[in-house]
């Protein structure tokens, strides 16, 4: 189940969903319109937030080394404490993993 599809269930658990990427707002808007996400996408063009959360990394892409965001999901409580982190997680695995923590 995707975050988009689980939005109402997560809202009942007092979970707010936010997406963040280094993409510019107009690129994010197009992505949201195409995928009908139903949650805010935040722009981090200087990757300051990504660096703070340890998800701005060097990746090997064939013969090139590129800097970019490692697909990640973080579950953060209302005080800002990280409850769980999943790196290189499939979008479809995010909700089941988060529910294990929230309902477990």
Residue 22 has pLDDT above 90, yes or no: yes
Residue 97 has pLDDT above 80, yes or no: yes
Mean pLDDT of the chain: 91
Q: Return the SS3 of 42.
A: strand
Dihedral (Cα; 6, 70, 54, 43), 10-degree rounding:
-70
**Tokens representing residue 91 in the block:** 């979008």
Number of domains observed in the structure of the chain: 1
Which residue range forms the structural domain that includes residue 12? Answer: 3-103
Condensed to tens digits (0 to 9), the pLDDT of residues 63-95 reads: 778 888 888 999 999 998 999 999 999 989 999
CATH of the domain at 65: 3.40.30.10
Kind and range of the H or E run holding 24: none
**Tokens representing residue 4 in the block:** 């988009």
Q: What is the pTM of this model?
A: 0.81
Please tell me the distance from the alpha carbon of residue 86 to that of residue 89, in angstroms, as a whole number. Answer: 6
């Amino acid at each position: 189940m995707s975050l988009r599809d689980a939005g109402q269930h997560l809202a009942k658990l007092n979970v707010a969903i936010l997406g963040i990427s280094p993409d510019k707002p107009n690129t994010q808007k197009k992505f949201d319109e195409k995928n009908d996400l139903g949650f805010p996408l935040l722009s981090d063009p200087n990757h300051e937030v990504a660096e703070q959360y340890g998800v701005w990394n060097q990746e090997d892409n064939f013969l090139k080394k590129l800097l970019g965001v490692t697909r990640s999901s973080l579950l953060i409580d209302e005080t800002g404490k990280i409850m769980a982190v999943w790196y290189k997680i499939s979008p479809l695995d995010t909700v089941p993993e988060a529910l294990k923590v929230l309902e477990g």
